[in-house]
Structure 1
Amino acid sequence: MVEQSVLALEKQQGSNPVLSEGIHDWVFECHGFLHNAGLIIASFLFLLYLALQAKKSFLKLSHGRSYIIISYYASLWLVSILNLLWCFSQAWECSPGKEFAWNLLSLFTTSGMLFLEVSLLAFLLQGNSTTGLEALTRTFGISGIIVGFDILLKAIYLFAFGIPIFINSDYPTPHVKWNLWVAHKLLLTLVYGFILFMYHSRWRERLPARPAYYKYVTIMLILNAIALFACGITGNGTAFGFWLYHFTVVCYHAAYLPLLYITFLADFFQEEDLHLENVYYSEMKDAGFFEADWN
């Protein structure tokens, strides 16, 4: 009904047939209106929030002089813009002749998000020594090497072998594609599982004393475990796995950057440092970090 109304309105207005067909395909074809609108609205609202908070955030950054926070905040802005562009370009995934542009945009966008993800993991695994320029260099250096290797591997799959690892509009897809994603999701799942294991073990004191980080780790462990399961059954020919994997992709692009901001940056931009200290103290107390003092 909505589709017929749009076509009728375009016909009455005498719009350009090519433009009308492009708008129609973007809205109704490929993944559909709800898919496209959900991704765009989520990514746009988060970028709008960053813009509205930019002045206060810049003032806080200028006074805080934290190299890690400044670099991470700048990276978050860049990746958020790339992600919004990716969300707006969903029609490219189903458009003949746009495969190269879609794969290139997807490669840069997902690599940027992976860089943020790996950087936070490297930060957590360094424990309480993550301060200063040396820690920033170490954190971003490790992340850059890992993400650089990931980009090279995916570029070989995409442009040397022609395997459509970022095109999820058609099923079935090459089996070798799912082998790559199984290895990718398995590594992330193992790392998140290892950090969560450390947090609940006697080595907990070696990690940063912020329980909010480990709520983030739990969420990402669940998401990557679901994606790993989906990739595994899709590679064995299960159509439900294909749908489930695509669902995890939508969740990742719509919600990961806001989750990262809430976990790692939001408290830093609180107006009152006393409030921030109270937040840290309350979280540490709830996690049992002061039980030894009472005993």
Structure 2
Amino acid sequence: MRALEEVTGVPLSLSPVSNSPVEVGNNGSRFSGWLFDCHGFWYNVALILPSFLFVVYLALQARKSLTKLSYGRSHIMIAYYGLLWLVSVLNLAWCCLQTWECTPGKDFSWNLLSLFTTSGMLFLEISLVAFLFQGNYASGLEALTRTFVVSGVIVCADILLKTIYIFSFGIPLFIGHDETKYQVKWGLWVVHKLLLTTVYGVIFFMYHTKWRERLPARPAFYNYISVMLLLNALALFACAIVGNGAGFGFWLYNFTTVCYHSFYLPLLYITFLADFFQEEDLHLENAYYSEMKDAGFFDADWD
């Protein structure tokens, strides 16, 4: 009965996580605890549902996508599609295992999963920004290697710094309780978000200067940069005011976290991969049209 009271008494809001353990009972209690405990029902659903639907979409489109990738033979698109699949599965696991954050004895597993998931998403972010400076669809092993080496070096440095903070200094970067106790944590997140905001801000303003010719002249990329600039600016503001003890900042930070883990990967797919697959469809349609025209199927239209 106590477990049921706790389940029904959880506030359905983006509030700081509880430091109480997740109780384990029968199958019904386990399911309700997995869905309701820690951050609450709506937080978990807002994370899990979009991530799950995106993985299902990738699975439904997998056969068609692999055929188009083999037809297009773009090394960058093939590598990026594989990375997108890997990170999407990791992100779905991260979204589904939110109770680990509040479960005693799961700190190491949660930190490790969070580290791999956020690092994979950061790698996609950095590599996509690098692709922006190489035209619409840079191809070739040389461009792929150069881009992935630069992205890998930056992400490895980020992983090393976070690993030192978490496992050497014991600072819970990915655990949300005792927020006022770890000011250093929010200082690190402020620096992290500030760097990302600066990069996206520079690219955003490049579109309004003479340097815009170096960027792809496509509205999808401009919209992507605008969305990421806004999201990182909100996260930067949230981290800064949480560090000063404002409770609203933690709510705003959780909101940006939900938006990032739920919608970033679909946004990236729409921006970078969807047009590639669509253009392949147009190429095939034009080829079929040319073949039919050569065969005389449209001669009657001129009579």
TM-score by length of 1: 0.85
Runs of at least 5 residues in structure 1 that lack an aligned partner in the other structure: 8-15, 278-295
In structure 2, the residue corresponding to 1:163 is in which secondary structure? coil
User: Given the alignment of the two structures, is residue 168 of structure 1 paired with residue 176 of structure 2, yes or no?
Assistant: yes
Aligned counterpart, 2:103: 95
Alpha-carbon deviation of 1:123? Answer: 1.1
Task: Report how far residue 128 of structure 1 moved.
Answer: 6.5
Once the two structures are overlaid, the 10-residue window that deviates more, 165-174 or 220-229, is 165-174
**Does the 8 A contact of 1:125 with 1:195 survive in 2?**
no
1:65-80 correspondence to structure 2 within 5 Å? 65-80=73-88
- Give the CA deviation at 1:24: 3.5
Q: 1:104 aligns with which of 105, 112, 131?
A: 112
After superposition, where does 1:122-161 map in structure 2 within 5 Å? Answer: 122-127=130-135, 130-161=138-169
Contact 1:227 1:244 (C-alpha < 8 Å) held by counterparts: yes
Classify 1:233/1:276 alpha carbon distance in 2 versus 1 (closer, same or farther; 3 Å). farther
Distance 1:82 1:154, change over 3 A: same
Checking the alignment, whether the CA contact within 8 Å between 1:115 and 1:143 is kept in structure 2 is yes
- Over 6 Å off, 4+ runs: none
Correspondence for 2:45:
37
Q: Which residue of 1 aligns with 2:216?
A: 208
**1:272 corresponds to which letter in structure 2?**
D
Structure 1 SS opposite 2:209: coil
Q: Which runs of 5+ in 2 are unaligned?
A: 9-23, 287-303
Letter paired with 2:188: L
Contact persistence 1:31–1:169 (CA under 8 A): no
2:264 counterpart of 1:256: yes
Residue 93 of structure 2 is aligned to residue 85 of structure 1: yes
Higher share of residues assigned helix: 1
Select 2:235's aligned residue among 212, 216, 227: 227
Which residue of structure 2 aligns with residue 284 of structure 1? none
Alignment partner for residue 276 of structure 2, among 268, 279, 291?
268
- Change in 2 beyond 3 A, CA 1:96/1:210: same
- Asked if 1:58 is matched to 2:74, the reply is no
SS at match of 2:173: coil
Alpha-carbon distance between aligned partners in 2 of 1:200 and 1:89, rounded to the nearest angstrom: 42
1:133 Cα shift? 1.3
Match of residue 48, structure 1, among 56, 76, 81: 56
- 2:133–2:215 contact (8 Å) kept in structure 1: yes
The answer to whether the 8 A contact 1:69-1:265 is kept is yes
Q: Which is worse superposed, 23-32 or 227-236?
A: 23-32
Residue equivalent to 2:188: 180
Q: Is the 1:66–1:132 contact (alpha carbons within 8 Å) kept by the matching residues of 2? A: yes
Rg larger in 1 or in 2?
A: 2
Q: State the match for 2:300 in structure 1.
A: none
Residue 142 (structure 2) pairs with residue 119 (structure 1): no
Given that residues 55 and 89 in structure 2 are in contact (C-alpha distance below 8 angstroms), is that contact kept between their aligned partners in structure 1?
yes
Aligned CA-pair RMSD: 2.3
Secondary structure of 2:210's counterpart equals coil
Cα displacement (A) at 1:275? 9.5
- CA gap 1:108/1:23 in 2 versus in 1, 3 angstroms: same
**Cα deviation digits, residues 33-91 of structure 1 (max 9, x gap):** 11112211111100000000001100100010001110000000000000011011000
1:132 Cα deviation after fit: 1.5
Candidates 203, 206, 222, aligned match of 1:198: 206
